[in-house]
């Protein structure tokens, strides 16, 4: 329980202050744990920060697996993934602060974790399976890259949250207001699903070879 308390306290401090601003003393105090125990569990501040990153991504991936996307028809599965991602980032804005901070670090801490990379593999496989099933019944276009698609889903679920205050000031509109967020959700669903469900003919047309030319001098 003490280890979990330290991890919970560290998540709060790192999300709030970043790796540079967070203090190990403050984490230990919040967790009501002694410093010796903290170092015994996690080694040092960097080890604790990496454990927090792994904890956050484990939580995201575990929640995605609970969606049981393979049990849904392809369109419903994709809509469910989009809805989940949109809702999750809205409900975990502290995680966005942590992820933004790690981007400022150029992902150097994240790259140290084999666990996070391994956690991502089932997500990509699940998206590939949804796309394959949708293509098989003529619902999805054929030129979809699963990673590109997920980056788009994440961007449309994340950007308005991470940039809420600057965008709200620019447009004199509160981007955290529930009605605006619901419109944004429908916009994200519409944009992604409209593109994804483009007709097979449109998708195939991009790859259709041009008509063979009649060789010079050949009979017509």
List for the chain the helix, strand, coil content (%; round to 5).
75, 0, 25
- Are 134 and 78 contacting, i.e. CB atoms less than 8 angstroms apart? yes
**pLDDT band, residue 216 (cuts 50/70/90):** very low
**DSSP structure string for 124-139:** HHHHHHHHHHHHHTT-
Does 1 score more than 80 pLDDT?
no
Residue percentage of the chain with pLDDT more than 90: 79
| 1-12 mean pLDDT | 91
Question: Within 10 A of 94 (CB to CB), how many other CB atoms are there?
Answer: 14
pLDDT for 198: 81
**pLDDT band, residue 147 (cuts 50/70/90):** very high
Domain boundaries, the chain: 1-43, 50-201
Round the average pLDDT of the chain to a whole number and report it: 89
Lowest mean pLDDT among 3-7, 177-181, 205-209: 205-209
d(CA 41, CA 154) in angstroms, rounded, equals 33
Does 176 score more than 90 pLDDT?
yes
For domain 50-201, give the fold. Answer: Tetracycline Repressor; domain 2 (1.10.357)
Question: Within 10 A of 159 (CB to CB), how many other CB atoms are there?
Answer: 14
Domain 1-43 annotated CATH 3.90.1150.10: no
Model pTM? 0.85
pLDDT for 208: 52
Does 200 score more than 80 pLDDT?
no
| 101-108 mean pLDDT | 89
Check residue 140 and report its DSSP letter: S
Extract the tokens encoding 200.
């097979």
d(CA 86, CA 136) in angstroms, rounded, equals 27
Taking alpha carbons only, the member of 76, 65, 81 closest to residue 150 is 81
């Amino acid at each position: 329980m003490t280890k979990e308390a330290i991890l919970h306290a560290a998540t709060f401090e790192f999300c709030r202050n970043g790796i540079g601003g967070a203090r190990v003393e403050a984490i230990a105090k919040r967790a009501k744990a002694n410093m010796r125990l903290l170092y015994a569990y996690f080694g040092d501040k960097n080890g604790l920060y990496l454990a927090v990153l792994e904890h956050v991504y484990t939580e995201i991936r575990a929640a995605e697996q609970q969606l049981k996307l393979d049990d849904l028809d392809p369109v419903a599965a994709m809509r469910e993934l989009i809805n989940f991602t949109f809702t999750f980032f809205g409900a975990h804005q502290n995680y966005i602060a942590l992820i933004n901070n790690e981007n400022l670090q150029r992902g150097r801490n994240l790259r140290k974790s084999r666990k996070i990379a391994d956690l991502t593999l089932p997500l990509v496989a699940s998206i590939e399976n949804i796309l394959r099933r949708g293509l098989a019944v003529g619902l999805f276009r054929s030129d979809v890259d699963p990673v590109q698609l997920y980056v788009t889903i994440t961007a449309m679920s994340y950007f308005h949250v991470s940039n809420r205050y600057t965008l709200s000031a620019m447009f004199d509109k509160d981007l955290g207001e529930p009605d605006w967020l619901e419109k944004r959700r429908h916009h994200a669903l519409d944009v992604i699903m409209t593109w994804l469900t483009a007709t097979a003919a449109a998708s195939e047309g991009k790859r259709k070879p041009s008509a063979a030319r009649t060789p010079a001098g050949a009979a017509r």
